[in-house]
Structure 1
Amino acid sequence: MSLPVITEARRIDSGRLETRVLSHGPEDGVPVVFVHGNLSAATWFEETMMRLPDGFRAIAPDLRAYGEADPEAKVDATRGLKDLSDDLAALLAALDIEAAHFVGHSLGGAVLWQLLADHSGRVLSLTQVCPGSPFGFGGCLPDGGAAYPDGAGTGASAVNPEFAKMLASGDRGGETPFHTRNILNAFVWKPPFVPERMEDILDAALAQHTDEQDYPGDVKPSDNWPTVAAGDWGPINGMAPHRIDDPLGFTKGPTPPICWIRGSDDAIVADNSGFDLGALGAAGAVPGWPGAEVFPPQPMIAQTERALSAYEAAGGTVQRHVIEDCGHSPYLEKPGAFDTAFHAFLTNI
């Protein structure tokens, strides 16, 4: 499937990954790289890219395992999200860009924690939009450790199989709660909002790679609740807490400025996320939950705040913005409020 484009699109081979890269703005502009989240692709950022202030050049790749990236390139989840952060560094090298400002949404924000830890010289600033916790997603204790050492109840083992089936089918309908269209409208932005380019955004979501090693990824049997654990392949397995070897690694080197923007009513990255088996178990939605002492709801926002406080203690500066009446996608839902915070940050560094 060829995804719709309202910016400039070209294919770039960085030596690590051949993928579609969107761009907008003057060739000699200061580079701003947009990193999309799960169930997404570079398409989601196009209007935001086109609204950048004068003098900036927007660049947005389809990540490995998403959109029009090479379908043979898989994410080795045993490395956490390092495949994706290494891809971004390689893309900059291929474009002859020494360093750039980065914007990450959701999973893309989690990738940027890793990028800053491993490739800090490439980073001028980070704008983190509803980013995943630096400690991983789901099955994570308040102090940041994994609830189970094998990643049970995280990664692909926490993905609803009916939703995964619907996504892989490419069905654009909305007959069941598990249709991709309904998941987007119920969780990825706050109802009753629907993006003007809904069909293009749905195209980009349905372009997510759904090979066995992509989404949701493989699973392993486990003696721990819920009897399956995150496997070794795919970006969702790469977010499992036991795969994140140094969650605070980004606080231990150079400290470019960070801007954290989130929606007040985010249902995905939250202290009681509807996609965390700990929260679902506590609500009685998943049987056999072993209790809060073993598998608590992950305090995602509190963990990110703690990590950013450590970043400030190391000498970094952090801006925090909460956009009211807004869900998981502020740049789509509340573009005016988002741009006010983002542009002021970007132009005053």
Structure 2
Amino acid sequence: MTLLDGISSRRIATARLNVNLLERLGDRPDGIPVVLVHGNISSALFWQELMLRLQAGYRPIAVDLRGFGDTDPEPVDATRGLADFSDDLAATLDALELPAAHLVGWSMGGGVVLQYALDRPVLSLTLQAPVSPYGFGGTAGPDGRRLTDDDAGCGGGGVNPDFVARLKAGDRTAEAPTSPLNVYRAAYVHAGYSSPLEDLWLESMLSTRTGEDHYPGDAMPSGNWPGFAAGKRGIANAMAPGHFNVSAIVDLPVKPDVLWVRGDADAIVSDASFFDTNQLGKAGVIAGWPGEEAAPPQPMVAQTRAVLEEYAARGGTSREVVLPNCGHSPHLEYPAEFLAELTAHIEAASDDGN
């Protein structure tokens, strides 16, 4: 595991599993706790630059989720949605003796911290390019209406098998569109972005465990188009709408302040995502698409906005920040802008008494 100067790692025992953490050298235990939760096909390594940029007085902690990085590769029970991950996070904070923290979740990690907030108190929430509160795929409209009872077109069956094979093999080449490096370049960041740390981000992606208990998970046959449905194991299935729905955050009696940061060129989480099976069908990439009424693309951004608007209407505070010419990774692509928004958000939440 490659660490930048000023970052350390350690594995800690929790009540659920052994968890790997990244921390900043020299931070005080009483610093403002900022817990960073990565997304799918990544690890805590992606947070290192942000950790180093946070000013003194903060205590950034980046966590490897199960099946990623150096945390124990325990299986993922997809029928619990993302609760395996959020429960692991809770056990980690307990082991660190942190009753609450400012949580930052990226992509799938955004869903993890929202699930966490449903179960335990938090100081604030920052959602970076988060998965929709209604999961990934298989829903329609801003209200997240579920399209089929079996979540057809969702989960492990929709993941490109060549990409999975290249992940498993540790492929570091750019020889195919499905290589992890090319997926990073095409989907994680905006066109034209480059970084001298690209090899480190690739290392992070390649730490992903593959298989039916991890990424992508299993799949089930379906009588609905496109012929497969969400399974019960693994990461991709954990975000299927029948397993994952955190829209109940609008009902929290105590509502932490929410910051939502996204790029306007996000290829993964958008209202026309090419990682959404129904969008691929509409575009003719997958044959036999039954049409807009039966299988509309998921309006991921509109769904998040609708939930957060309702959250605010019920007494919470939320703010949306859209970065132009930005892809799925604002903290990498526009680090100064992301850092400014994050610290202002945490300071405002602290002023509110959180």
* Structure 1 moving runs of 4+ over 6 Å: none
CA RMSD in angstroms, aligned pairs only: 1.1
CA contact (8 A) 1:145 1:242 kept: no
Once the 2 structures are TM-superposed, how far is the Cα of residue 194 of structure 1 from its aligned partner?
Answer: 2.2
Once the 2 structures are TM-superposed, how far is the Cα of residue 105 of structure 1 from its aligned partner?
Answer: 0.4
CA contact (8 A) 2:81 2:243 kept: yes
Q: Does 1:235 align with 2:251?
A: no
Equivalent-residue separation in structure 1 for 2:152 and 2:164 (angstroms): 18
What secondary structure sits across from 1:243 in the alignment?
coil
1:276 equivalent in structure 2 = 276
2:87 equivalent in structure 1 = 86
2:33 equivalent in structure 1 = 31
Question: Tell me, which stretches of 5 or more residues in structure 1 are unaligned?
Answer: none
Letter in 2 for 1:237: N
Q: Does 1:57 align with 2:55?
A: no
- TM (norm. structure 2) is 0.95
2:316 equivalent in structure 1 = 316
What secondary structure sits across from 1:229 in the alignment?
strand
Equivalent-residue separation in structure 2 for 1:156 and 1:144 (angstroms): 20
2:13 equivalent in structure 1 = 13
Equivalent-residue separation in structure 1 for 2:15 and 2:145 (angstroms): 34
Once the 2 structures are TM-superposed, how far is the Cα of residue 27 of structure 1 from its aligned partner?
Answer: 2.1
1:307 equivalent in structure 2 = 307
CA contact (8 A) 2:124 2:257 kept: yes
Once the 2 structures are TM-superposed, how far is the Cα of residue 342 of structure 1 from its aligned partner?
Answer: 1.2
Equivalent-residue separation in structure 1 for 2:261 and 2:3 (angstroms): 26
Once the 2 structures are TM-superposed, how far is the Cα of residue 196 of structure 1 from its aligned partner?
Answer: 2.0
Once the 2 structures are TM-superposed, how far is the Cα of residue 308 of structure 1 from its aligned partner?
Answer: 0.1
Question: Which deviates more from structure 2 when the two are superposed, residues 263-272 or residues 48-57?
Answer: 48-57
1:67 equivalent in structure 2 = 69
What secondary structure sits across from 2:144 in the alignment?
coil
For residues 205-216 of structure 1, the aligned pairs below 5 Å read 205-216=205-216
What secondary structure sits across from 1:320 in the alignment?
strand
1:249 equivalent in structure 2 = 248
1:169 equivalent in structure 2 = 169
Letter in 1 for 2:329: S
Equivalent-residue separation in structure 2 for 1:180 and 1:157 (angstroms): 18
Equivalent-residue separation in structure 1 for 2:325 and 2:62 (angstroms): 27
Equivalent-residue separation in structure 1 for 2:251 and 2:196 (angstroms): 41
Letter in 1 for 2:103: F
CA contact (8 A) 2:34 2:61 kept: yes
Once the 2 structures are TM-superposed, how far is the Cα of residue 131 of structure 1 from its aligned partner?
Answer: 0.4
CA contact (8 A) 2:80 2:238 kept: yes
CA contact (8 A) 2:213 2:235 kept: no
What secondary structure sits across from 2:288 in the alignment?
coil
Once the 2 structures are TM-superposed, how far is the Cα of residue 212 of structure 1 from its aligned partner?
Answer: 2.5
- Same amino acid, percent of matched pairs: 45
Once the 2 structures are TM-superposed, how far is the Cα of residue 267 of structure 1 from its aligned partner?
Answer: 0.9
For residues 221-232 of structure 1, the aligned pairs below 5 Å read 221-232=221-232
Equivalent-residue separation in structure 2 for 1:140 and 1:162 (angstroms): 26
Question: Which deviates more from structure 2 when the two are superposed, residues 162-171 or residues 173-182?
Answer: 162-171
What secondary structure sits across from 1:260 in the alignment?
strand
Q: Does 1:217 align with 2:217?
A: yes
What secondary structure sits across from 2:295 in the alignment?
coil
2:352 equivalent in structure 1 = none
Once the 2 structures are TM-superposed, how far is the Cα of residue 172 of structure 1 from its aligned partner?
Answer: 0.5
Q: Does 1:112 align with 2:113?
A: yes
Once the 2 structures are TM-superposed, how far is the Cα of residue 264 of structure 1 from its aligned partner?
Answer: 1.2
Letter in 2 for 1:138: G
Once the 2 structures are TM-superposed, how far is the Cα of residue 195 of structure 1 from its aligned partner?
Answer: 2.4
Equivalent-residue separation in structure 2 for 1:149 and 1:9 (angstroms): 43
Letter in 2 for 1:98: P
Question: Tell me, which stretches of 5 or more residues in structure 2 are unaligned?
Answer: 350-354
CA contact (8 A) 2:19 2:92 kept: no
Tell me the alpha carbon deviations over residues 279-309 of structure 1, each in whole angstroms, 9 at most, x when there is no partner: 1111111101111111101000000000001
Equivalent-residue separation in structure 1 for 2:129 and 2:221 (angstroms): 31
Letter in 1 for 2:131: G
Equivalent-residue separation in structure 2 for 1:196 and 1:108 (angstroms): 25
Letter in 2 for 1:232: K
CA contact (8 A) 2:250 2:310 kept: yes
Once the 2 structures are TM-superposed, how far is the Cα of residue 209 of structure 1 from its aligned partner?
Answer: 0.5
What secondary structure sits across from 1:241 in the alignment?
coil
CA contact (8 A) 1:65 1:234 kept: no
Tell me the alpha carbon deviations over residues 76-102 of structure 1, each in whole angstroms, 9 at most, x when there is no partner: 000111111111111111100110000
- TM (norm. structure 1) is 0.96
Equivalent-residue separation in structure 2 for 1:131 and 1:297 (angstroms): 17
Once the 2 structures are TM-superposed, how far is the Cα of residue 148 of structure 1 from its aligned partner?
Answer: 1.5
Letter in 2 for 1:134: P
